Amino acid sequence: MKTIAILSGKGGTGKTTLAASLARLAGEKALADCDVEAPNLHILLQGKLLEKKEYRGAQTALIDEDLCRQCGLCREACRFQAISAGYQVIPFRCEGCGVCSLVCPHGAAHLETVKTGDTYVHETGEGLFSHALLDIGAEGSGKLVTEVRRIIQPYIQTEKLFFIDGSPGIGCVVIASLTGCDAAILVTEPTLSGKSDLLRVLDLADHFSIPAVVCINRFDVNLELTAEIEAYCRQARVPVLGKIPFDSRVVEGLRNYKTPLEMEGSTAAAAIRGFWENMQKYLQNEEEGE
Ligand code: SF4
Ligand code: SF4
C-alpha cells in the first residue's frame, strides 16, 4: 500500500477539497484526516461508525487535599500560575510540566493523563476513513496524528492507497503526517504567502527525502505568480502535476456538502481529474524506477 500525504504550507488553499475529490476518484483506498486541529473531511465523508475511542493526550496536575499541608512550595514553583490560593489546580492554566509534583515534599501533587478528544474510524462510500475530534481547548499533537494513522490500520485489507490529509504549516503535526509516506502532494495557490509557504513545505519533504509533487489551485487568479511557482518547481525538479482554475461551483458544492466532482459543469472538477491521471502515472513511474 502506498501512503500519500496531502499537504499545504498554508491554510485555505483547497487541500481538503482536493483530498475529498481524490478519495472519490481513487479505487481501493483509505483516508485519514490528520489535520487534527481543524478537521473537516468528516463533513464531506459520512458513513458507518466502526470504532470510536477516547484519546488521552495531555497531562494535568492534581492536588490531593488530604495530603496537602498548604506549604505553598508548588505555588511558588509553578511558572504558569496554575495553582490557586486555595491550592487547587486551574485546569486551563496547567501545562502538565510536573514541577509541582517534584517540589511537593508531601506527595500531595501528582500528574494525571486526561482525555483531550476522540478518534474515529468510519466505513464510508469512499472507503475507510479515520479522524479525530479534539475537546474544546485541547491541543493537537504529532502523537494524535500518529494515533489517527494507527487506528485505521487493523481495518485495512485490500486498499492500495492511503491518503493522509495533513495540517497546514511545517510543525510537529505535519511531520507526523509526512513520516513514512511514499509521496506528498503539495497544494498551493498563487499568492505571495502561498508561494512562500510552499517553499517551506517543499524543504520539509526534501529534508525527509519524500518525493513531492505540486498542484496549484485557483491558478488563474494570478498568472504571474503561478508562472513564478512553476519556474521555481522546474528549477527544483518538482513536478507540477495539476493546475486547477478558480470555479465558483466549488464553493457552491461545498455549501451543499459536495465535492467539485459532483458539480455538473465544474471546470475545477475536470482539472482535478487531470491531476489524478498525472498522479497515477507519476506513482507508476516511481514504482518502476524503484
Ligand atoms: S507543595 Fe504539596 S503540600 Fe505544599 S501546597 Fe503544594 S501540594 Fe500542598
Ligand atoms: S504541572 Fe506544572 S503547570 Fe501544572 S500546576 Fe504543576 S507546576 Fe503548574
Give residue 254's pLDDT band: very low, low, confident or very high (50, 70, 90): confident
Question: Which atom of ligand 2 approaches the CA of 89 most closely?
Answer: 5
Of the candidates 196, 279, 193, 285, the residue with the CA atom closest to the CA atom of residue 232: 196
Looking at the chain, the domain(s) classified CATH 3.40.50.300 span 2-45+125-289
Give residue 199's pLDDT band: very low, low, confident or very high (50, 70, 90): very high
87 C-alpha to ligand 2 centroid (Å): 12
28 C-alpha to ligand 1 centroid (Å): 57
pLDDT in tens, 26-35: 989 999 999 9
* Rg of the chain in Å (alpha carbons): 23
Give residue 104's pLDDT band: very low, low, confident or very high (50, 70, 90): very high
Ligand that comes closest to the CA of residue 99? 2
Mean pLDDT in residue range 136-165: 93
pLDDT at 227 over 70: yes
In testing the pocket of ligand 1, which one of 73, 75, 81, 102 has its CB within 8 Å of the most ligand atoms? 73
pLDDT at 290 over 70: no
CATH 3.30.70.20 describes domain 57-115: yes
* Identity of residue 164: I
Q: How many of the other CB atoms lie within 10 Å of CB of 277?
A: 13
pLDDT score for 257 = 85
Grid cell for residue 256: 451543499
pLDDT score for 4 = 96
CATH 3.40.50.300 describes domain 2-45+125-289: yes
pLDDT in tens, 47-61: 999 999 999 988 999
Write the CB contacts of 14 (distance below 8 Å, at least 6 apart in sequence): 187, 189, 217, 218, 244, 250
Looking at the chain, the domain(s) classified CATH 3.30.70.20 span 57-115
User: Are residues 161 and 154 in contact, defined by beta-carbon separation less than 8 angstroms?
Assistant: no
39 C-alpha to ligand 2 centroid (Å): 29
Q: φ and ψ at 78, to 5 degrees?
A: -70, 120
Kindly report the protein residue whose alpha carbon is nearest to atom 6 of ligand 2: 100
78 C-alpha to ligand 2 centroid (Å): 5
Grid cell for residue 145: 496524528
Q: Helix (H, G, I), strand (E, B), or coil: what is residue 39?
A: coil
Ligand that comes closest to the CA of residue 114? 2
The HSE-up count of residue 170 (CA atoms within 13 Å, CB side) is 15
In testing the pocket of ligand 2, which one of 100, 101, 104, 114 has its CB within 8 Å of the most ligand atoms? 100
For residues 30 and 38, give the distance between their C-alpha atoms in angstroms, rounded to a whole number. Answer: 20
pLDDT in tens, 5-31: 999 978 888 888 999 999 889 989 999
The residue among 140 and 233 whose pLDDT is bigger is: 233
Kindly report the protein residue whose alpha carbon is nearest to atom 1 of ligand 1: 104
98 C-alpha to ligand 2 centroid (Å): 6
**Mean pLDDT, the chain, as a whole number?**
93
